[in-house]
Amino acid sequence: MIETRSVEVCPTCGVHWHRERQPARCLDPAHEHTIVEVHVHRSTVRLPDGTAVAAVSFDPLDPYSRTRDPRFGLYLDPAWHPPWPHGLFSWPDFGVPADPGELERALGRLLARARQGDEVELGCLGGHGRTGTALARLAVLCGQPPSTAVQWAREHYCVRAVETHEQEAFVVTFSGQ
């Protein structure tokens, strides 16, 4: 499920807020604000081998409400502190991880849990760059060719998945071994 919300952004202050639900975080009349539509993801993605992974974004208004809590979550942003078992992986926003091998081990553990039937979750902050890149790499681990994995993530998850050229290259050059 993808929900869209309007967020107001003040580039001068570097803050944002949900217009319908939060008070303005910048009240300076000299600052120009931008309205941005953002996705709130709670999407089940079927990987090429049929394995299910829930792909999520961090919803600051209600980050941990679920119909059912996952058995495990792997989160790629330090904003996450869910009440269920989880792992945190350090990965800079709009970038790629410093240690690709550590990421592959973390994704491999997540995939193993999912293949055993555990409900698992994967997410970053916005749910596009890091989450989309990790989903594309999971797709490669499940048999998708690296050359088409970014397109696969955009078709099966979100058109905004994998945000930067660096993230695309990180997927395309992945051997999955």
Provide the b/e sequence for 72-81 (b: ≥16 CB within 10 Å): bbbbbbeebe
pLDDT over threshold 80, residue 131: yes
Average pLDDT for 63-84: 95
How many whole angstroms separate alpha carbon 177 and alpha carbon 87? 22
Tell me, yes or no, whether 68 lies in a domain: yes
pLDDT over threshold 80, residue 142: yes
Summary mean pLDDT of the chain = 92
Q: Which two tokens stand for residue 19?
A: 């217009």
Q: What is the pLDDT of residue 26?
A: 93
Tell me, yes or no, whether 10 lies in a domain: no
Tell me, yes or no, whether 65 lies in a domain: yes
Tell me, yes or no, whether 161 lies in a domain: yes
Q: What is the pTM of this model?
A: 0.85
Tell me, yes or no, whether 28 lies in a domain: no
Secondary structure tally for the chain: helices H, strands E? 4, 7
pLDDT over threshold 80, residue 3: no
List the domain range (segments joined by +) for residue 160.
42-172
What angle, 0 to 180 degrees and rounded to 10, lies between the N-to-C axes of helices 129-141 and 146-156? 120
Tell me, yes or no, whether 105 lies in a domain: yes
Q: Are 52 and 121 in contact (CB under 8 A)?
A: no
Which residues partner with 8 through β-bridges? Answer: 17, 35
Tell me which of 33 and 36 has the higher pLDDT: 33
Average pLDDT for 40-54: 95
Q: Which two tokens stand for residue 3?
A: 């929900």
Q: Which two tokens stand for residue 33?
A: 């604000």
Q: Are 104 and 177 in contact (CB under 8 A)?
A: no
User: Cα angle vertex 64, ends 60, 66, to 5°?
Assistant: 130
Best-predicted range by mean pLDDT among 8-12, 15-19, 144-148?
144-148
Name the phi and psi angles at 120, rounded to 5: -125, 160
Tell me, yes or no, whether 59 lies in a domain: yes
How many whole angstroms separate alpha carbon 27 and alpha carbon 35? 15
Average pLDDT for 3-8: 78
Domain count across the chain: 1
CATH of the domain at 83: 3.90.190.10
pLDDT over threshold 90, residue 11: no
Tell me, yes or no, whether 177 lies in a domain: no
Q: Which residue reads 């269920």 in tokens?
A: 84
